Structure 1
């Protein structure tokens, strides 16, 4: 099959399930066949199975016997970099067309006007080279470019847009760790893989694929620590803490944030501000009013000394609007109980007003939170006006976090005797 067959959303969704039966079913029913699926009986013959056996494989539990998985992957000529298991040496399927995803990502990074459709089309139209025997500066820079590119997509559209593609690319990146690498490039390689894994993890978090997020964050942390990349480590631990807080484990969030403060003298003022806002979020969920305000005050103090030119590239997002939004979110949980409500609304309002177009998800989530807070403690009419706009914006995102915040907003609205379905969205 051609490269665009394997890198289509249809196949990537099946491959990301790590279920060979689903992969075979997706293969048979792919739109490339012109609306006429390949008969189950025919594919069963290719795989040396009966039709009944293939039917059970497609609909039953995921097959786990590695020898069978390898044999079926060879028969279907699935590109090795898309598999969730390692093919034996000599099974690289040289005859299969492959996509040079990293080169495409590096090229698209320089093209700000690229759309998701054009990105995927570029990937489909590009041929993949083999994973190199040795990894050097060029491959490391391509990995970094891919990470930066998809972090930008995540901020703009949410984690659900190209998450499966990024997960597939992460498997390629991890395979680079098994390639030869000069000692002078080793830390750079691990840092690049760690940054990409963090991006993939945050996309999974935003899509509420929490198990995937935890696994990818763990991989990212291991890579950062292996590379002695303390700044990247702090960012990953902050994201891990936010994930734990979101999933109802604020004490774990506090523990991870405290771990991130290790060697804080090696971090920039912006990074320390980020960590204090994460700490404040955890305290907010626990109802620790004094601890929240203390952490927000420390975050403000650190951010006042921010020097963007000193920050690593993955901190470019943390500007004045992001700081206002993050501290506003931290205050939200005590504000809905009557503490510091005006301050929380002021900060969330600043985030909504000042976020740039490339931070649409952050702007929208802050707007939803502002509507919820206003609905809970302020004027329901004003809240309805803000909320209707926020819900309309959220509809354009691929973010389950935003969707859950909308659900929370509707809950506050019901308690206030309002129904957003009756309010027209702008």
Structure 2
């Protein structure tokens, strides 16, 4: 037999390996019976898959997905993928070979289950606005529909739409000179995006933030300005880039986030702005924790070193929480306990006048919530559920999005713990919030909960949750 490379990681396969996957990749896929794997962005560029997406036939998309070389020499069995989707193998066969589906609820749910990136789809997922095309034709040359849509999204988010629209007007060339007034405006946008994110979630404002950042970056690249303005401008653009990256993460558009964080770190160093650099590193740790937990630990440690000497207790708490979560992803229980203890100890130091504005979300509920996420990584759903109950108890604060996210995580933990009725009930209780808070990562977790509950439709709470879930996502 001729040796070959593993299509998933590129590693060399042994001559007697007839599975098409190396041992580590086979181990990484042991849980594929319960949920679809996280695949790289290049996965969706495979020609048969691209053709199926272009043909707007989800059945053919699923078939191309199953036969992708990423899964090894043998395609994924229909029974496995049908289990993810909550249907039978026979139903999936008819869907793959029959006419294209037109039911939006099924299209949306199955696209979420398979983790198909929203830009690849021909329909909008729940909470994913149709991309706003910022161009001469869409904004300035009669694009009244896009203008109205932009104003509606901005109004929902509480953003000053008129100023932002003027900023996005690409028919006018970039200004030849920038002053502190423009820098202050850029800094004020960061605060507006932060408030809007806490209230309504990232899906409604992610595209707006990216376009605003890109437009300001273009202006900064061509305009003239003095040294003091330049340093302030670099810091403001770094903060905007971090905010855009965070919104991409919360929208479950993770691959779009890293370039913004790389840029933010560069701009922060140019401006000698250690506070912006620490925030970027903290966000990078969050981004990398899922796929590269060791690098996530290094980012948290680098942020702690950079903040040494001036970090407030709240900032120190957040950085140790990032490190604790990454250690849990590495299945390093000792490292998790050590960093969690440090986070709790720092949190006891209370708030401080020098706390950075973005740290306002670091509360007792947030500490418990992140601890619960770490316990899920360590396969301790019982402890995770207790943490999520703490994170969602008490009066609702300004961060409605966080409360919704941890309520969904509570549902996930209860189902993993075997408390089917309780998990379905927790999921049902949060559905009413989804019309006001749209977070792609939260919707993905809720979709996972729904898929895991499909086998328990005989339980009344499960039927109630699944029916309400389908109605809500329509």
TM range (shorter): 0.5 to 0.7
Q: Does 1:208 align with 2:252?
A: yes
Q: Does 1:347 align with 2:376?
A: no
Of the three residues 410, 422, 426, the one matched with 2:464 is 422
Q: Does 1:140 align with 2:180?
A: no
Of the three residues 227, 249, 261, the one matched with 2:271 is 227
1:276 matched to which residue of 2? 320
How does 1:345-384 map onto structure 2 within 5 Å? Answer: 345-354=385-394, 356-377=396-417, 379-384=419-424
Change (3 A) 1:308 1:356: farther
Q: Does 1:390 align with 2:430?
A: yes
CA deviations on 1:305-354 (whole Å, 9 max, x unpaired) are 132421112222223322222222222322x346xx33x33332222124
How does 1:149-160 map onto structure 2 within 5 Å? Answer: 149-160=192-203
Q: Does 1:172 align with 2:211?
A: no
Change (3 A) 1:118 1:154: closer
Distance 2:175 2:161 in 1: 23
Note the C-alpha offset of 1:274. 0.6
More relative contact order in 1 or in 2 (CA 8 Å, sep 6+)?
Answer: 2
Change (3 A) 1:371 1:308: farther
CA deviations on 1:340-387 (whole Å, 9 max, x unpaired) are x33x33332222124745312211111111122122226333222212
Q: Does 1:115 align with 2:156?
A: yes
CA deviations on 1:47-76 (whole Å, 9 max, x unpaired) are xxxxxxxxxxxxxxxxxxxxxxxxxxxxx9
RMSD in angstroms over aligned alpha carbons?
Answer: 3.4
Q: Does 1:163 align with 2:203?
A: no
Distance 1:221 1:381 in 2: 46
TM-score if structure 1 supplies the norm length?
A: 0.66
Distance 1:355 1:261 in 2: 32
Change (3 A) 1:346 1:177: same
Distance 1:355 1:239 in 2: 27
1:18 matched to which residue of 2? none
Equivalent position SS for 1:309: coil
How does 1:322-337 map onto structure 2 within 5 Å? Answer: 322-334=366-378, 336-337=379-380
How does 1:188-267 map onto structure 2 within 5 Å? Answer: 188-246=232-290, 248-265=291-308, 266-267=310-311
CA deviations on 1:395-414 (whole Å, 9 max, x unpaired) are 54332101111133235535
Q: Which residues of structure 2 form unaligned runs of 5+? A: 1-134, 144-150, 470-474
Equivalent position SS for 1:363: helix
Distance 1:321 1:232 in 2: 25
Distance 1:415 1:298 in 2: 41
Q: Is the 8 A contact 1:97 1:127 kept in 2?
A: no
Q: Is the 8 A contact 1:147 1:199 kept in 2?
A: yes
1:60 matched to which residue of 2? none
Distance 1:177 1:123 in 2: 16
373-382 or 170-179, which moves further after superposition? 373-382
Change (3 A) 1:78 1:223: farther
Note the C-alpha offset of 1:183. 1.8
TM-score if structure 2 supplies the norm length?
A: 0.60
Distance 2:228 2:455 in 1: 60
How does 1:48-59 map onto structure 2 within 5 Å? Answer: none
Note the C-alpha offset of 1:161. 0.8
2:228 matched to which residue of 1? 184
Change (3 A) 1:132 1:121: closer
